Amino acid sequence: MDELDELGNPSVSNSILENLNDSQKEAVSAPLSNMLVIAGAGTGKTRVLVSRIAYLIKHYMIEPRNILAVTFTNKAAGEMRERIGLFVGEFLQRQLWASTFHSICLRLLRAYAKQAGLEPNFTVLDTDSQTTLTKRIMKELNIDVKEFKPSEAVSKICKLKEDGLRADDYIKRGRTFGESQYENMCKIYSAYEKICNDENSVDFSELLLRTVELLESNDEIRALQHRRFKEILVDEFQDTNSIQYKFLRLMAGKNSHVMVVGDDDQSIYGWRGADYTNMHKFLKDFDDVHEILLALNYRSSQKILDMANTLIAENSDRLMEKVLKGNIGQGDDVSILNCSNNNCEASAVVQLIAKLHEAGEKYKDMAILYRNNYLSLGFEQSLSMKHIPFVIYGGQRFFERAEILDTLAYLRLLINENDDTAALRIINVPSRKLGPKVVADLRAIGRERNCSMLQAIRLLEAYSKQEGADKALVSLYKKVSPFYNLILQMKEKKENAPLHELVDYVINASGLQEMYALKDAKEGKTGEENSRVSNLGVLVSNVKEFEASMNAQVAKEATAEEAKDINADNSEGSASDGEITSTALEDPLLTYLSNITLVSTSELDEDGSSSTECDAVNMMTIHSSKGLEFKHVFLVGFENTILPSQRSVDIGSDKSISEERRLAYVGITRAKEDLYISYAQNRSMFGNIVTTGASQFLRQIVRSYNEIKKEDRPFKIIPIASQRY
């Protein structure tokens, strides 16, 4: 019989446990303690996390504001909040902190900006701004951008920050083996760090590093977080890097409980700093950790799971051996397509897609997954020839388009006049006949007076009114004053206009609307959905939606009970020291700019932002497919030099091969009903015909079933000797 509450109704906590399997129930209803939940692919980890949070609130009576839930994407955080709201109600859900690592750190830095060495109106640099800034630095340092790409320098800076290294730390560490650009990087990183400090800006990696430094150095702020967060839950823990793990340890107090959920078998981001051994460290660094294994798969047929289990069993560095068991039946055999060449492979895959569609299957339920982007071309061409619609994940994102970046640069200047990176982007966009010399002279004044470009114009304005003023400087002011006055007009508009009206005003007053309309007309894109002008309109609509959401949030927060909660927090720490503020007190433009930077940066590999609701075949790298699932999956290019990559083979370490094997495992476990694995004996690569053959991973799987009758194997091998299938 169900447990009853004092009114004789089935208890809420008991209802939370309904429809959970035994392992899931164990994780959700466990006593308050540190927990490591090893959740295999498709085992319902998100459901477990959401149910655990609801159970903490309803059964253990933990205040939602005392719970911190950390995810890796804004999309995942939003879904988590929505699902929790179904259990506990919208009011309680709103008090919960459920965000990405970077969003949480941004929130803390806004609250404690002064203590962190920032002004509260600091701006967050997107990837494009980082690259632009780095190009500028390299030009000034006379570093050849052809010899050392700015994007590589940006990646290096981000990696150093994720390792907790400032420029001085990096210089002191010295050159490591194989680091050919060490001297240049020292110069670039030092200059980069200084400019960011001068411009009151932070990049994505800086959010975490600066927050960690703040928590390490300020005992009072750290203690406040310990009192605030009693329960901390982390999703996709295998993807955390060293600085994220350090942040977690700093946020967890002696009386806190931490629950981490992850799967070391799905750790595929080692190349960007993710360290699955954090799961091992967690067992050592936290007391009395309760370990729970989730191995019942709700996604894939058993034959697909058998392939995955056989593959991953070869990895010797697994935290816990697990064998995924399915609950949807054996399913059809996995089809292994042995193709004579890559043209045969593309033709065979597309023919199968066409047959599935003719049988009533939707294109959007199908996915072509590949190790590297260059592999997509042949499939794109074959799909186009068959008039089969497809969408490629990882294309240019909305907030990476030039017209959008130009608009955002204007908006950033309205928040932070120290942002020279933004000023340099749009001081002559649209053209104001301000050549390189004008800009260089203006920047020279800024460097001489230790101020930004906008501040330098303000100094020129005052100077030009003096008798006997230098004619060259007066002339310089006349040239740049229209731009300066434009920014002032926009700032004035910002004070009394709704956010979406401000953005619309900026687009038109700046001349961007007219400039991009002319470009659209020249390219014959006038009126098209993807035209530049259309994108500017979409931006205004996006701002309007954000504005509505923010206004709704402000209205919800304006309750006596929540005000009481805020006051309670303030009693533990001084508001003047940077206490967390409510939405109502935040600058809408500043909040919007921060939010879109968080969305458009860092989630580039796993968020599938190019997805569409139209009926089209999905094409993406295996890395991009993480967290997704499809009814029919075509895992292509499963061959030597590709999966595993040639680089990992050349390195030859168990570590590098193990991650490649995990990548293959992730690809296999995206499939629900049908899995097709294809490889080419010969492949045209970069103008050369290369003999490749089946991946060592595929050969390993086949060998493991050599003693089993063909009819009992979970796969069938189909030879394809011509382009036609």
Residue-wise pLDDT tens digits, 473-489: 999 999 999 999 999 99
Q: Which residue has the tokens 């939707």?
A: 362
Strands 688-691 and 671-685: antiparallel
According to the model, what pLDDT value does residue 559 have? 53
Using the predicted structure, report yes or no on whether residue 360 has a pLDDT greater than 70: yes
Residue 126 near residue 145 (C-beta atoms within 8 A): no
Q: Comparing 44-53, 269-278, 603-612, which segment has the lowest mean pLDDT?
A: 603-612
373 versus 495: which is more confidently predicted? Answer: 495
Verify whether residue 46 is a known catalytic residue.
yes
Verify whether residue 45 is a known catalytic residue.
yes
φ, ψ of residue 172 in degrees (nearest 5): -65, -35
In the structure, what pLDDT confidence band is assigned to residue 526 with cuts at 50, 70 and 90? low
**Both tokens assigned to 219:** 């005992």
Q: Which residues contact 694 (CB under 8 A, 6 or more apart)?
A: 338, 638, 639, 640, 679
Say if residue 125 is exposed, middle or buried (CB neighbours under 10 Å; 0-12, 13-18, 19+): buried
272 versus 115: which is more confidently predicted? Answer: 115
List 126, 203, 231, 236, catalytic entry: 236
Buried b / exposed e over 602-625, threshold 16 CB at 10 Å, is bbebbbbbbeeeeebbbbbbbbbb
Say if residue 105 is exposed, middle or buried (CB neighbours under 10 Å; 0-12, 13-18, 19+): buried
Q: How far does Cα 452 stand from its chain's mean position? A: 31
According to the model, what pLDDT value does residue 570 have? 42
Q: Which residues contact 439 (CB under 8 A, 6 or more apart)?
A: 424, 427, 428
Longest dimension (CA), the chain: 99
List 235, 239, 417, 673, catalytic entry: 235
What is the pLDDT averaged over residues 539-554?
Answer: 81
Other CB atoms within 10 A of residue 549 CB: 12
Tell me the torsion sign for CA atoms 456, 511, 424, 200: positive
Rg value, the chain, Cα: 28
Q: Comparing 509-523, 589-603, 620-634, which segment has the lowest mean pLDDT?
A: 589-603
Name the range with the highest mean pLDDT among 113-117, 145-149, 577-581.
Answer: 113-117
Percent of the chain with pLDDT over 90: 67
Using the predicted structure, report yes or no on whether residue 4 has a pLDDT greater than 50: no
CA dihedral (139, 145, 151, 154) in degrees, to 10, reads -50
What span, in angstroms and rounded, lies between the C-alpha atoms of 191 and 182?
Answer: 14
**What is the pTM for the complete model shown?**
0.84
Q: What is the mean pLDDT of the chain?
A: 88
List 100, 240, 244, 266, catalytic entry: 266
Verify whether residue 236 is a known catalytic residue.
yes
Per-residue pLDDT tens over the stretch 89-137: 887 888 888 999 999 999 999 999 999 999 999 999 988 899 999 999 9
Length reported for the chain: 725
List 24, 43, 45, 403, catalytic entry: 45
What span, in angstroms and rounded, lies between the C-alpha atoms of 235 and 37?
Answer: 10
**Both tokens assigned to 283:** 């067992």
φ, ψ of residue 237 in degrees (nearest 5): -65, -25
What span, in angstroms and rounded, lies between the C-alpha atoms of 178 and 597?
Answer: 33
**Both tokens assigned to 52:** 């655990």
What span, in angstroms and rounded, lies between the C-alpha atoms of 582 and 567?
Answer: 11
In the structure, what pLDDT confidence band is assigned to residue 578 with cuts at 50, 70 and 90? very low
Using the predicted structure, report yes or no on whether residue 576 has a pLDDT greater than 60: no
What is the pLDDT averaged over residues 166-176?
Answer: 93
Query: HSE of 554 in the Cβ direction (CA atoms, 13 Å)?
Result: 13
Per-residue pLDDT tens over the stretch 548-558: 877 777 666 65
According to the model, what pLDDT value does residue 608 have? 37
Quick one: which of 315, 401, 382 has its CA closest to 344? Answer: 382
What is the pLDDT averaged over residues 606-612?
Answer: 40
**Both tokens assigned to 262:** 């992850």
List 43, 46, 130, 244, catalytic entry: 46
According to the model, what pLDDT value does residue 528 have? 58
User: Residue 678: beta bridge partners?
Assistant: 337
How would DSSP label each residue in 464-481? HTSTT--HHHHHHHHHHH
270 versus 304: which is more confidently predicted? Answer: 304
Q: Which residues contact 252 (CB under 8 A, 6 or more apart)?
A: 226, 229, 232, 258, 286
According to the model, what pLDDT value does residue 580 have? 61
Say if residue 142 is exposed, middle or buried (CB neighbours under 10 Å; 0-12, 13-18, 19+): exposed
In the structure, what pLDDT confidence band is assigned to residue 573 with cuts at 50, 70 and 90? very low
Verify whether residue 266 is a known catalytic residue.
yes
**Both tokens assigned to 686:** 């970069």
Buried b / exposed e over 519-535, threshold 16 CB at 10 Å, is ebeeeebeeeeebbbbb
List 136, 322, 670, 713, catalytic entry: 670
Q: Which residue has the tokens 């590297």?
A: 372
Residue 683 near residue 342 (C-beta atoms within 8 A): yes
**Angle 515-486-110 from CA coordinates, rounded to 5°:** 105
Residue 694 near residue 353 (C-beta atoms within 8 A): no
CA dihedral (582, 585, 591, 594) in degrees, to 10, reads -70
Q: What is the C-alpha end-to-end distance of the chain, expressed in Å?
A: 59
In the structure, what pLDDT confidence band is assigned to residue 602 with cuts at 50, 70 and 90? very low
According to the model, what pLDDT value does residue 10 have? 45
